[in-house]
Amino acid sequence: MGGIFVTVLEMLGDLPCEEILGMSPWFDGTAVCGAARRDARCVERGDVFFCIRGTHFDGHTAIGQAACRGASLVVLEEMRYADTCPIPWICIRDTRAAFLPACLCAAGHPERGMHLYAVTGTNGKTSVTYLLEAMFSSDPEYAPCAVIGTVENRIAGENFPTSATTPPPEELCALLCHARERGVKTVILEASSHALAQGRLSGLHFDAGIFTNLTEDHLDYHGSMEDYFLCKRRLFFSCSSMIANADDPYGIRLLLDEDIPAEKISFSLAGNYPHAFRAQPHPVGNGTRLTVTSPDGAENELSSPLRGSFAAQNITAAAVCAYSAGLSHKTVQTGLSSLENIPGRMECIVETPFSVFVDYAHTPDALRRAICSVKNMPSDPGTTARTLVLFGCGGDREREKRPQMGAIASELADISIITSDNSRSEDPLAIIGDIVAGIPDSPHAEIHIVPDRKQAIETVLSLAHPGDSVLLAGKGHENYQIDRDGRHPFSEKEIVHDYIPREHVPHE
């Protein structure tokens, strides 16, 4: 219990009366309890066991195991299990929603006293968290910072591996405890739609939540764009402020939603939304420069070494959040200048004889933007720069986007290499077949099909001429491949660097 002693009523104290469906006659709310657990195998004497139904396992079936291991209380979601429960129980409507608050209470509420920020959307979450970390780290009131997200978890400069974009509640609680021990003042996390649907963030209140955009993704889980959107929307009922992209139709829906209690702050690059922070990108060589105009007419010039069509939008989102938190323009720009790249996000890993970029683009919209970003990179006068794109689609994920991505690459690239990308339980050739189905009979791009991704990377590098740009899309920061046999080490950077002399690698 780590020196923290709480009673059952304290652990469950935030539950409204209407959420409680019943309790055993020998329920003792004054009893001191241990940690909150949802895995019966981890239960220790005195712990409270939460019965949570997952996709493949129902925690109610492990009540007996939890009791044998010494659980002091079982929190049910189904009354039908109460009659056979051998220890005190309480039945509530939503065990998922109650679990993180219980974990935090048992840990002494590590989140209290910290500034909390969350970023949600289809694309841009990771980039915005990195940008916010850089900006807030430049202000003593907000530093040191912690970032919890897709690439890794970082706590006051210390790196930890990540298990999910938004970790499960017990892992999130442990990260917050470590952040408290390290004196962290600001925590910035990525809020995935899966986590919001599953109540993984229930009980946390955020200074601000940022909405980047919403495009087709995760429909294998959500079933529809409407459900996907509604899951994202849940975040903003737990935020003091909502910062939303007014250039996105779903962002407009959030801004016009009168049920959301958060203060609404908008930003726009198109400039079509009233009272928004407006950003005007300016042409620049390698990097991004833009003018951000606040609703009161004040203008601030921002510049960054980050590249790509998403960069201006992500920088604007982070800057608006930082300005709204009270950071000065000088602090924002200082932080922005310190961030040279974001792992796997339009990251240049080779500069000559041709450029090679890796990007996490794995949706139709992200792939289109990534290719356009590479095509618009400055080239030497008098050269004919071509764009070569390598990509695949993940297995056990929505099939609808596969032909769309095939059509996009065949339309925008000069050479398109179609290969594998985390095929999981599916046949890689079947996935490639779905991609090829979207390619027209007379594509603009020269099409190559190379199922083995390592061979595909070597192929696309062999086809590149000096001055060309190569985009390796889909894997980004990932250093593994997943197929029917499991997860295997796989580094695109290593493959590229083995092929191209290392003197051409930036910053090495």
Residues composing the chain: 508
CA 199 to chain centre: 16
- Mean pLDDT, range 325-335, rounded to an integer: 98
Per-residue pLDDT for 202 more than 60? yes
Cβ atoms of 483 and 451 closer than 8 Å: no
**Among 63, 56, 75, 80, which residue's Cα sits nearest to residue 15?**
75
Mean pLDDT to the nearest integer, 484-497? 96
Flag whether pLDDT at 3 surpasses 60. Answer: no
Is the pLDDT at 14 greater than 70, yes or no? yes
Query: DSSP state, 246?
Result: T
Q: If we measure between CA atoms, which residue out of 340, 307, 334, 297 comes closest to residue 319?
A: 334
Model confidence at 1, pLDDT cuts 50, 70, 90, reads very low
Cα 86 to Cα 208: distance, rounded to the nearest angstrom: 44
Q: How high is the mean pLDDT of the chain?
A: 94
Buried b (16+ CB within 10 A) or exposed e, 371-400: bebbbebeeeeeeebbbbbbbbbbbebbbe
- Per cent of the chain over pLDDT 70 is 97
Radius of gyration of the chain (CA): 25
Q: Which two tokens stand for residue 299?
A: 């203008």
Using the predicted structure, report yes or no on whether residue 208 has a pLDDT greater than 80: yes
pLDDT class for 2, splitting at 50, 70, 90?
very low
34-78 per-position pLDDT tens digit: 999 999 999 999 999 999 998 889 999 999 999 999 999 999 999
Mean pLDDT of 275-279: 96
Nearest Cα to Cα of residue 401 among 438, 356, 371: 438
Is a pLDDT exceeding 80 seen at residue 464? yes
Angle at the Cα of 19 (from 18 to 22), degrees rounded to 5? 90
**Distance between CA atoms of 327 and 334, rounded to whole angstroms?**
11
Cβ count within 10 A of residue 55: 6
Residue 481 tokens read as 């491949």
List domains and CATH numbers for the chain: 6-106 (3.40.1390.10), 115-338 (3.40.1190.10), 347-504 (3.90.190.20)
Please say if the pLDDT value at position 507 is more than 60. Answer: no
pLDDT for the residue numbered 381: 64
Mean pLDDT (whole number) for 376-382: 71
What CA–CA distance (Å, rounded) separates 130 from 116? 14
Partners of 189 in beta bridges: 118, 148
Rounded Cα distance between 293 and 299, Å, is 4
For residue 13, give every residue at least 6 positions away whose Cβ sits within 8 Å of its Cβ, in sequence order, or none. Answer: 105
**C-alpha distances out from residue 243 to 37, 120, 128, 210, Å:** 34, 10, 12, 5
At 11, is the pLDDT very low, low, confident or very high (cuts 50, 70, 90)?
Answer: very high
Half-sphere exposure of 483 (CA within 13 A, CB side): 14
State yes or no: pLDDT of 508 exceeds 70.
Answer: no
Residue carrying structure tokens 């309790």: 23
Q: Which pTM value belongs to this model?
A: 0.93
> In Å, how far are 45, 59, 88 from 82, measured between CA atoms?
21, 13, 9
- Backbone conformation region of residue 326, classed left if phi is above 0, alpha if psi is from -120 to 50, else beta: left
Instruction: Assess contact for 417 and 445: CB atoms under 8 A.
Output: no
Lowest mean per-residue pLDDT among 2-6, 29-33, 69-73, 242-246: 2-6
3-state secondary structure of 446: strand
| Residue-wise pLDDT tens digits, 152-187 | 999 999 999 898 999 999 999 999 999 999 999 999
Comparing 100-104, 375-379, 478-482, which segment has the lowest mean pLDDT?
375-379
Under the banding of pLDDT at 50, 70 and 90, the label for residue 218 is confident
Least confident of 223-227, 301-305, 381-385, 466-470: 381-385
* Mean pLDDT value across residues 447-467: 97
Please report which confidence band the pLDDT of residue 506 belongs to, taking 50, 70 and 90 as the band edges: low
Tell me which of 11-20, 372-381, 414-423 is least confident: 372-381
Name the pLDDT band for 504 (thresholds 50, 70, 90): low
